Structure 1
């Protein structure tokens, strides 16, 4: 049974940036041996609260108590010394260092009697941590060579160095497969059984209900309340998060009857081998498959960021072979990438700069200078269209929440609808209300005749948005299926290479 005396208390925390309240007199208590959920929309203050707990950000007001004593955290190492460990939403790995080096980064490496690093011991300790997570991943190779899911597990492994009393997990399953998520949940339950406390932050409400004992809901920088998980329904939690009932369900897929404007035949490159499909104007084509199936690579082949090793493509019955993303953009393609930090944003530049970046020629006609007034008006309209939450268009993108960063990536392609829009996990790290705003935008673009190719690991999202599916397995095209009437179970069978019996 959970001890009712709090282990950690965040009391009356306030933090503001440029006069905008990110956290507004928020309080949170964590009990020993509990899994505590933290939910809220993008910009609700969750990430800022975690950064304050980690010692990365100093609060303007309020205090943190650990075992009843005031905790003065000035940096991340102080939090670690007091038994707090963190798994952040963005992986922040050093790609040219090995998995073992990343896991123990910032911690003393074991030494030989000669004073050099004992690589054998380091690799063995890292391997033990990964096996404890139920994962067999090579820890002696640079993490840049690992898949996104494997990198996520290495990032998780960092939190299990030492003997942390409190482990904070910020969107830990964003890049994990279903099997990896089950492994993580087994570890969380084992930690709970040993009296450890887990603060679990996620936009996936199903996970909150499955793994958490209590949940704290935030909205607009304030804590709405903390509740036993058994006392809430999912619809009640959503109402607390956004201040109203959602009022709508998942969007229903609709068949499109536009003409075929794009074809790919026997496309090959990277892990992709012999993928063929066509795309109609206004159609949403989904790419389904497990992690490593080659879904993202198909998008990059279309976008010119991976050069094909074989196959052919046509757009409007003319050969199409972009040698770079710039050529693909000029041909009418646009892309929302999976990794927004590395592939989609200029993090140290403003919201406005990021939104208008691919359309600067619109504001420099007949002059070499940018028409800043016109650029600002266009940026403001697009920010309003995606319902972006930011202090101003001059705010740096790296100061936004993860969901609002994703909205910036989405907004930049709305200056003029592209011919083809490539979406790679477009709602990853996006809260439930913003998710439906993005669904609306996708549907509106399709209604104007934009052909959309969608990659999503969220099966309900894929089945409800896509008109048709291409199933990939190990880089090969396994099946082409209509989404009408298809269940998640049937789709999973296909993804695992098992064709269901009629």
Structure 2
């Protein structure tokens, strides 16, 4: 049987970096082929070549046994290749139907069609058929901005089917989904498999790879290092090939004796948050669990002053403080590493040095308000070394760093401000196992020196391993507080889903 996609000897170089070095890759119709590797391993580059976003330097590509030269993303679509990116490619102010048929609008019949009039009813009818195929109960007339991330993803999948895709590339499709939504996505992937579509599944969540993939392709440092069936693969074997070392226990939190209360939140309310109270101690990692939409991110945004509160009080070291803006929070020693690091945590077109310096500009001003660039360089170089940020130099734009290294730059930015409290919203979302272990090690080190940490994570094993206590949220409320010794995956899920 001929693979539907075969890539042979693919190489691609960028200035100073050999991103891909003679990589082979293939996938069959009706197969889920997982593509895994550390950040910077070459996964995205390989898939961008297949989707027409990049041109290869050398190598050959075959679709259905026929050699092709993919010129651009539109050409890739014509060849039956669709890509669903981690940052979903939808237009929020248009309807679901308009998004599905964007650029391919169905025209009305007769003279009106020739004049460019769109057949809105027919587009909505066909969109509904496509949504039904992926089991999505979504009104095609609804504006996309009103949909959840999971629903937007289903719109993207419906769009791929409308393009008669034979190959669908899914880049970190579960990164912003809760457990129930992940299972729904997997049901859709199984349906697509039955329809003979090849799925290329890129993920850092290896437990999900083992659950959904038929075969696994592993890249390391731009080279192919392994291809194996799910039955041949083991967790340890895949990790070893990815990082070239046994990782052992991925999550290692050092035991730290809890200090005095550093943060007290009392009866905090907003349009979404309902009367939440809790305390955070020096040197403690407080985990927050909950399903998507439970109010976890909204809670920490209230504490950070990013959203307005209706009522409630916040105390820092026993003293009541008013936080009406992020600037107020920073002044009080509170830092927030947001869930969306690229849009909210970094200035992508600025350098590593400039991003690290964002929170401390006022502290490094010289006479007449000029920035002390030597001091800024010294601070940036110190954090690059301390956090093991892999970058050609501190003057490299953060846009060109891997996800794990971008996350370390966000951490460095806040650590430069000497925070007392650090809020981490999905700190390891979309980063590989090696970088994840490094982030956890940094968290342990910060707790050891007395920083209080609040961590939101959708990965329950991460919460169980890294948290001293876990607050479980549902519908804007904290429904239970679990000490580490009593918390289990089953118990957290039961409380989060309201079935305990």
Shorter-chain TM-score bucket reads over 0.9
Partner in structure 2 of residue 121 of structure 1: 122
Q: Matched residues in 2 for 1:449 and 1:49: separation?
A: 43
Note the C-alpha offset of 1:474. 0.7
2:253–2:441 Cα contact (<8 Å) kept? no
Q: Which residue of 2 is the match for residue 286 of structure 1?
A: 287
Helix, strand or coil at the partner of 2:274:
strand
Deviation at 1:52, TM superposition (A): 0.7
- Aligned partner of residue 211 in structure 2, secondary structure: helix
In the alignment, is the contact (CA less than 8 A) between 1:41 and 1:242 conserved in 2?
yes
Deviations 1:195-233 (A, max 9, x none): 221111110111111111211110111111212221121
Cα distance in structure 2, aligned partners of 1:258 and 1:108: 61
Question: How far off is 1:415 after superposition?
Answer: 1.7
CA deviation string 1:81-127 (max 9, x = no partner): 00011111111332222333233333334546533223333233333
**2:321 counterpart of 1:324:** no
Aligned to 2:336: 335
Matching of residues 191-230 of structure 1 within 5 Å: 191-230=192-231
Query: How many Å apart are 1:367 and its aligned residue?
Result: 4.8
Runs of 4+ in 1 over 4 A off after TM superposition: 252-256
Distance in 2 of aligned mates of 1:305 and 1:105: 34
3-state SS in 2 of match to 1:108: coil
Contact kept in structure 1, 2:334 and 2:420, CA below 8 Å: yes
Q: Could you say what the CA RMSD is over the residues aligned between the two structures, in angstroms?
A: 1.9
* Alpha-carbon spacing, 1:373–1:27, altered in 2? closer, same or farther (3 Å): farther
What is the alpha-carbon distance in structure 1 between the residues aligned to residue 411 and residue 153 of structure 2?
Answer: 24
Structure-1 residue corresponding to 2:79: 82
* Contact in 2 for aligned 1:255/1:467 (Cα 8 Å): no
Deviations 1:134-192 (A, max 9, x none): 23234433333333333333334332222111111111111122222222212222222
Q: Which residue of 2 is the match for residue 349 of structure 1? A: 350
Query: Aligned partners of 1:151 and 1:141: how far apart in 2?
Result: 11
CA distance 1:342–1:96, change in 2 (3 Å): farther
SS in 2 for 1:463: helix
Provide the residue aligned with 1:270 in structure 2. 271
Determine the structure 2 residue equivalent to 1:22: 19
- 8 Å contact from structure 2 (residues 36, 202) kept in 1: yes
Residue in 2 that maps onto 1:496: 497
Task: Please give the alpha-carbon distance, in whole angstroms, between the structure 2 residues aligned to 1:119 and 1:403.
Answer: 43
Q: Which residue of 1 aligns with 2:104?
A: 107
Q: Following TM superposition, by how much is the alpha carbon of 1:296 offset from its aligned partner in structure 2, in angstroms? A: 0.3
Structure 1: distance between partners of 2:272 and 2:127? 28
User: Helix, strand or coil for the counterpart of 1:312?
Assistant: strand
**Are residue 57 (structure 1) and residue 54 (structure 2) matched?**
yes
Deviation at 1:73, TM superposition (A): 1.5
Offset of 1:235 from its aligned partner?
0.2
Check 1:40–1:171 CA distance in 2 against 1; reply closer, same or farther (3 A cut).
Answer: same
* In 1: Cα distance, 2:124 partner to 2:466 partner: 44
TM-score norm. by structure 2 comes to 0.94
Matched, 1:10 2:7: yes
Tell whether 2:68 aligns with 1:71: yes
Q: Could you tell which deviates more after superposition, 444-453 or 387-396? A: 387-396
> Equivalents in 2 of 1:372, 1:158: separation in Å?
49
| CA–CA separation in structure 1 for the residues paired with 2:127 and 2:385 | 46
Do the aligned residues in 2 keep the contact of 1:13 with 1:26 (CA within 8 Å)? yes
The size of the alignment, in residue pairs, is 496
Task: State the Cα deviation string for residues 412-454 of structure 1 (Å, max 9, x = none).
Answer: 1222431111111110001001101000111111111111111
> Is the deviation greater in 296-305 or in 148-157?
148-157
> Take 2:303 and 2:139, find their aligned partners in 1: how far apart are those partners?
31
Partners in 2 of 1:43 and 1:480 — Cα distance?
A: 38
TM-score (norm 1): 0.94
Please list every run of 5 or more consecutive structure 2 residues that lacks an aligned counterpart in the other structure: none
Gaps of 5+ in 1: none
1:329 is displaced (CA, Å) by 0.9
- Quote the residue 2:361 is aligned against: 360
- Between 1:62-71 and 1:455-464, the stretch displaced more is 62-71
CA contact (8 A) 1:87 1:158 kept: no
1:48 aligns with 2:45: yes
Q: In the alignment, is residue 466 of structure 1 matched against residue 463 of structure 2?
A: no
- Give the match's secondary structure for 2:240: helix
Deviates more, 1:156-165 or 1:330-339: 156-165
Q: CA deviation at 1:459?
A: 0.4
Report the Cα offset of residue 365 of structure 1: 3.3
TM-fit CA distance, 1:72: 1.4
Alignment of 1:155-194 (within 5 A): 155-194=156-195
Report SS of the residue matched to 1:328.
helix
Partners of 2:109 and 2:314 lie apart in 1 by 57
